[in-house]
Chain A
Amino acid sequence: MTFENYIEAEQFSFDKTEKDTLFLSLLNDLHKHHLGNSEEYQKISAGFFQEDERIASMADTPFVPVSIFKNRLMKSIPEEDIYKVLTSSGTTSSVPSRIVLDKATAALQTFALSKIMNHVLGKNRLPMLIVDSKSILKNRKTFSARGAGILGLSVFGKQHLYLLDDEFKLIKSALQEFAKKHNGQPILIFGFTFMVWQYLAEAELDFELDLSNAILIHSGGWKKLEAMAVDNDTFKTKLKNKFGIAKENIYNFYGMVEQVGSVFLENSDGYLHCPNFSEVIIRNPKDFSVQPHGEEGLIQVISLLPKSYPGHSILTEDIGVVMGEDDASNGWKGKYFKILGRAKKAEIRGCSDTFNN
C-alpha cells in the first residue's frame, strides 16, 4: 500500500495486524529518509541498533527526546526548502521548540488533521462557538499555542463566535443571539479544557442555551482542573446537565507542536485514540523497555507525517498508560491510552543524560 492510499483510508480503521505490517513498512521508509538526511538523527539512531538499522518491530522504533527540538534545529531538508518554522514554548521551560516544515509536510499536517476531525464532524462546517477571546489572536506573528489551536480548528466551523471579550468576560448578548439562532441545532464548540470549564460549564445564564446537538472539542490538559478536583466525568456530567451536550459528543484531544496533525482524539470510552497514521508506545523510564498494556511509563509518540524534520518518533515527558487496542466500544481500531501527567523532573533528567552520553 502506498503512503497516499494509507493516509486516505477511513480513520481508525487499521488494527494491530495492519499497524504491524503496513504502518511499520511506511515507518521504515521514513526512518531511512531521516537517516539519510539528518546527521543528528543518524547519530541517535545508531545507538539503538546493533548492525542493520531496520526497524524490525514497532517496539524497536528509535526515538528522539522531545527536548531536542528546544536545543537544536532538527531538519531533514535543505535550507532553501524551509517553508515555515513552528515554535512553541513548553510549560516547564521558556526555551521554545522549533519545528522545521517544508510545504509538503505542512500540507500533510493539515490534511491529517482534517481527516481525523471530519471523521467525527462530517464534511460540512458547523456554526462555531469558540470559548476564548479574539484578543488571543491579535499579534499574528507571535500568537501562542492556544491561538494556533483556535486557528487550526476554525477551518471546521463557520460564523465563528468568540465567547469572551478582551477582558475575558463572557459576551452574554452575543451568546444569547447565538442561542436564539442555533438552540438545538448541530454546532461546533472549541476551547481549551480549563476555559470551557470556567467560562461555559460554570456560566450563569438567564436565558436558555440548548446544546443538545452540539459537538464539543477541547484540549490543553487537565492540570488546572485536577487542582479543582474536576475530572473528565465531572466535566462531561456538568455540561450534559446544564446544556444537554451528549457525553459522546464531547471529545478531548492530545497533540503537540512537535507532531502537528497527529492528534489523539478521545474515543467513546474516554481514552485517547491513535489515528491510522500514529502509534504510541509506553516505556519504562528506568531502562526504556516497552511496558505491557496497563503499566504506566513515558509516552513515545510515532507519526508517519513528519518528513521535513526527524520528529516521526518522539519520547515525550508525559506519563501515560495504554488501556487497550482494537476493542473500543465505538468500533475504532487502534491503540488507546490515557495520560496521567508530566514525568517527574528526575525521570526527565535521567532521559536527557542518556542521550547526552
Chain B
Amino acid sequence: MSSENNQKLITAFSTALEIDASQVIDDLKYQSIPEWDSMSHMFLISELEEVFEVEIETDDVIDLSSVGKAKEILTKYDVSF
C-alpha cells in the first residue's frame, strides 16, 4: 500500500510540475527549481487531491513546501506512506 502511494505521489509531482520522476525526492523544495513556482503549486495541489481523493485545507496548501512535507501532510488525511 505504502509503496503504491509513494509511486502515486511521485507521478503526481512529475505530472503537475512537468519534471522527471527521478527529481522527486523528499528533499525537493518549493521554489528550489523553476518548475515548482506559485502557479504550478496549485496544479500540484489539484493533482494530489485528485490522485489521493482528499481535500487539502488552505493552511496545508501553504505548508506543503517539500516532497517530504507533502507525505507528512497527506498522512493527516489518512494516506499512508
State which size class the interface on A falls in.
Answer: 10 to 19
> Is B38 in contact with A151, judged by CB distance below 8 angstroms?
yes
Tell me which of B37, B39, B57 contacts A125 (CB under 8 A). Answer: B57
Residue numbers in B under 8 Å from A155 (CB-CB): 42, 58, 61-62
Having A118-B58, A151-B39, one finds 6 other A-B pairs with CB under 8 Å, namely: A114-B62, A123-B57, A124-B58, A151-B42, A156-B58, A158-B46
Question: Which B residues fall within an 8 A CB radius of A?
Answer: 37-39, 42, 45-46, 49, 55-59, 61-62
Tell me which of A110, A114, A124 contacts B55 (CB under 8 A). Answer: A124
Residue A154 lies at the interface, judged by CB distance under 8 Å to chain B = yes
Tell me which of A117, A124, A137, A154 contacts B57 (CB under 8 A). Answer: A124
Known: A158-B46, A158-B49, A159-B46. A123 touches B39 (CB 8 A): no
Known: A158-B46, A158-B49, A159-B46. A125 touches B61 (CB 8 A): yes
Residue A140 lies at the interface, judged by CB distance under 8 Å to chain B = yes
A111-133 residues at the B interface, CB under 8 angstroms: 111, 114, 117-118, 121, 123-125
Question: Which A residues fall within an 8 A CB radius of B?
Answer: 110-111, 114, 117-118, 121, 123-125, 137, 140, 151-152, 154-156, 158-160
Minimum C-beta distance from A253 to chain B (A)? 17
List 28 A–B pairs whose Cβ atoms lie within 8 Å, in order of A's numbering: A111-B62, A114-B58, A114-B62, A117-B58, A118-B58, A121-B58, A123-B58, A123-B59, A124-B55, A124-B57, A124-B58, A125-B55, A125-B56, A125-B58, A125-B61, A137-B39, A140-B39, A151-B38, A151-B39, A151-B42, A152-B38, A154-B42, A155-B42, A155-B58, A155-B61, A158-B46, A158-B55, A159-B46
Residue of B nearest to A113 (CB): B62
Residue numbers in A under 8 Å from B55 (CB-CB): 124-125, 158
Residue numbers in A under 8 Å from B42 (CB-CB): 151, 154-155, 160
Residue numbers in A under 8 Å from B57 (CB-CB): 123-125
Minimum C-beta distance from B42 to chain A (A)? 5
Residue of A nearest to B38 (CB): A151
Residue of A nearest to B37 (CB): A140
Residue numbers in A under 8 Å from B37 (CB-CB): 140
A329 to B13, CA, bound (A): 46
